[in-house]
Chain A
């Protein structure tokens, strides 16, 4: 808010001018500074006792004085020793009642003092963080969050400041863990997500913070935690991409052409050279090796337990502790199924949960179908998935249903069967494959997809004429085998590639295998022999 400067102010209280002079020559303006500082102290005491006083009366405002002192505080460290603690005290006691501008000014002054290394990061964060959690003012919260974030980023810019990171991470963890039902944990979750996005915190501890955020009892915190796991890496890539795109678009050829046409001057020369350097820097950045970053899902410390807890807490009970709306439930379900699919976990109650939701009239049913597909993998028992496939087939895929519905159903079934082919039985399969004759393109393609999948995987379930040429040939050749050579849970034997080549090489070398082995066993106790035959007992004292 601009104010008209009175005449007196321009002469006696011209703080910016004085600031500039002090920067150039601190010792000669010490008296002036002491005057200003004593003025600040007396106004400060006033505010300490009655914080609701308006700041705007009179010529000199407290906020201008605070601004001035914080800018030159590092020139007079002996006089301003108590300055930072004064400010923290004022904030702690009266942050709710102070005027907005004064309060914001105090916060920015504290950050400035941190920048000038008058106070350290820990003190600053210990002041700002409790304020962030407890203040009722929206604008102050936004300001504090931004300042905390930028402070953490600058502390980590040159090298990772492990100590600071650890302490802040512990604070965040404790906030969420100590009171799961409070909405204050949202700030810890927000901070962690933002720092993960910027790749400042990319370790397992940050992931554990988001883990308990997802298991907390406040809807917003849960949503924040789950979103982190679902979209974390995507956000990171987007952030990296947008950073690089900003610098793009320098066309060196065009610039050189312009330089040739325009008037030559030192300034234009400098600009051209700067543009060339920028392009070179971008190239180097692109070619630099990407720092190793594990996805959040891989850094989880106990995925089976986490998935179980998530499911048990948020989805399974009919009266969960946290009321989630459909969209949030879908998010949680998506996360659980992704975990199950990624780590091949076993979570049997999950599949019966789906049955209720697989109807065409269910809002966001395609999301449910996608989660189901994610959650199925080769170690899921087929009799668990069977009723699900039946339900989808009954509800979605029929002549009466709209063609989009039918194609959605067929695609869903195909996705499940890709991951667990044993979930299907013969009659159903043969029935579904008939749909490839339907008039609608979508349904046709979906049915054909199912057919080609089973031609590859389990052709003997199909009718003879649907099997196709390659599959039929294979079946006839491996006659005793039975086409569906996968039983549930069967896993290929592992082996080292090229082991037989080693044998071949040994033969070529003319070495006899058996002799080779015997020689290898000869001196196995050689060391112990020599020590006994050496001297007598060696006294080690």
Chain B
């Protein structure tokens, strides 16, 4: 066959000496062996095989973490467990403070699944009312729910709003923006802007139709609910609590040598000077805290809301039936603002 060029080349390369490159490191020789090693191990997850069931605290924490699972059914079950645990807590108290539970559960007020939402509300209702702490976040979630695009969530968040006003009205008003921003949300929802939006506007030479307030036939349940909650809010917000003139005198008499004791005691609630907003961002008119009913009435009238709301209520009253009744409730509440 004769030796081919390829074979010749291979034979030659066996005896070739690699050229020395000045200034570069010498190349590794071909019979060098690599003696480095890396140990490998297999790790199995441990499953607890103990026969005794876990105690209540462990189960509680487990369920609390399950609330953020991706499976809707699992979320619902976890919330249900937590609700029953809170109800039956009794005097030992809960493994986690009420505030922590609320912080975990409140994002799911806007969840897509109906059952999950209902469970969250039940959980909130089951918690002891005084221990929930500041309601800023819950209020924000509720407002986000009220303007949500899905009607179901809108309806549901009105329920949440009702519950909040029913149990914790003072706390709601004490949130920054609790009064004005909530009113604004309602205003946007019902589109009561006081004649700014003309119907059938002609803009840019193109005629375009604007949507009217009542969207569909026969589904005014939402509108009724909205008006009802609004009436509730206005009634609570614009009434001053009854002042008992003799109570102050009685208290002073009880502690006779000491005078104005309440002002000098250390406050029992946390962050008592939060209302001063010493370190927070500057708040505009809408996000201020309005503790006093008179202040709230004043701001209400100042921003011209009285006129816009009255007009809107009058328009709504014209539609007879449930809607009309709800609207008259709103009007009654508005009358509280006219006095004084």
Query: Are the CB atoms of A58 and B211 closer together than 8 Å?
Result: no
Q: How far is the CA of A57 from the CA of B120 in the complex (A)?
A: 14
Q: Does A34 contact B (CB under 8 A)?
A: yes
Contact of A8 among B68, B150, B188, B206 (CB under 8 A): B150
Query: Are the CB atoms of A46 and B149 closer together than 8 Å?
Result: no
B residues apposed to A, CB below 8 Å: 19-25, 68, 107-108, 110-112, 136-137, 140-141, 143-144, 147-153, 185, 188, 191, 201, 203-204, 206, 208-211
Query: Are the CB atoms of A360 and B22 closer together than 8 Å?
Result: yes
Q: Does A509 contact B (CB under 8 A)?
A: no
* A46-B144, A49-B136, A54-B107 given; A31·B211 CB < 8 A: yes
Identify whether the interface residues of B are mostly helix, strand, loop, or mixed.
Answer: loop
Q: Does A42 contact B (CB under 8 A)?
A: yes
What does the 1/0 interface line of A8-28 toward B look like (CB < 8 Å)?
A: 110011000000000001011
Query: Are the CB atoms of B149 and A12 closer together than 8 Å?
Result: yes
* A43-B144, A58-B112, A404-B19 given; A27·B107 CB < 8 A: no
Q: Nearest-CB distance from B118 to chain A (Å)? A: 15
Query: Are the CB atoms of B137 and A30 closer together than 8 Å?
Result: no
Query: Are the CB atoms of A53 and B22 closer together than 8 Å?
Result: no
Across-interface contacts of B108 in A (CB, < 8 A) = 57-58
A residues apposed to B, CB below 8 Å: 6, 8-9, 12-13, 25, 27-28, 30-31, 34-36, 38-39, 42-43, 45-46, 49-50, 53-54, 57-60, 360, 362-368, 402, 404-405, 408
Contact of A31 among B112, B153, B191 (CB under 8 A): B191
Task: Closest A residue to B144 by CB, please name it.
Answer: A42
Contact of B20 among A9, A42, A49, A402 (CB under 8 A): A402
**9 A–B pairs (Cβ distance < 8 Å), ordered by A:** A27-B204, A27-B208, A42-B147, A46-B137, A60-B149, A363-B24, A364-B24, A405-B20, A408-B22
Q: How far is the CA of A182 from the CA of B206 in the complex (A)?
A: 59
Query: Are the CB atoms of B149 and A28 closer together than 8 Å?
Result: no
Query: Are the CB atoms of A39 and B149 closer together than 8 Å?
Result: yes
Task: Closest A residue to B113 by CB, please name it.
Answer: A6
Across-interface contacts of A45 in B (CB, < 8 A) = 140
Query: Are the CB atoms of B191 and A38 closer together than 8 Å?
Result: no
* A57-B110, A408-B22 given; A39·B188 CB < 8 A: no
Contact of B140 among A28, A46, A408 (CB under 8 A): A46
Query: Are the CB atoms of B150 and A34 closer together than 8 Å?
Result: no
Q: How far is the CA of A298 from the CA of B266 in the complex (A)?
A: 74
Query: Are the CB atoms of B22 and A54 closer together than 8 Å?
Result: no
Contact of A49 among B140, B149, B201, B209 (CB under 8 A): B140
Across-interface contacts of A6 in B (CB, < 8 A) = 112
Query: Are the CB atoms of B143 and A366 closer together than 8 Å?
Result: no
Query: Are the CB atoms of A363 and B25 closer together than 8 Å?
Result: yes
With A28-B210, A46-B137, A58-B112 known, 4 other A-B pairs at CB within 8 A are A39-B148, A58-B153, A368-B23, A404-B21
* A8-B152, A363-B25 given; A53·B107 CB < 8 A: yes
Task: Closest B residue to A409 by CB, please name it.
Answer: B22
* A42-B143, A46-B144, A57-B110 given; A362·B137 CB < 8 A: no
Query: Are the CB atoms of A404 and B149 closer together than 8 Å?
Result: no
Q: How far is the CA of A28 from the CA of B209 in the complex (A)?
A: 6
Across-interface contacts of B107 in A (CB, < 8 A) = 53-54, 57-58
Across-interface contacts of B206 in A (CB, < 8 A) = 25, 27
Q: How far is the CA of A36 from the CA of B24 in the complex (A)?
A: 66
Query: Are the CB atoms of B22 and A365 closer together than 8 Å?
Result: yes
Contact of B201 among A27, A46, A363, A408 (CB under 8 A): A27
Across-interface contacts of A43 in B (CB, < 8 A) = 144
Contact of A366 among B23, B152, B208 (CB under 8 A): B23
* A58-B107, A59-B112 given; A27·B203 CB < 8 A: yes
Q: How far is the CA of A53 from the CA of B148 in the complex (A)?
A: 18
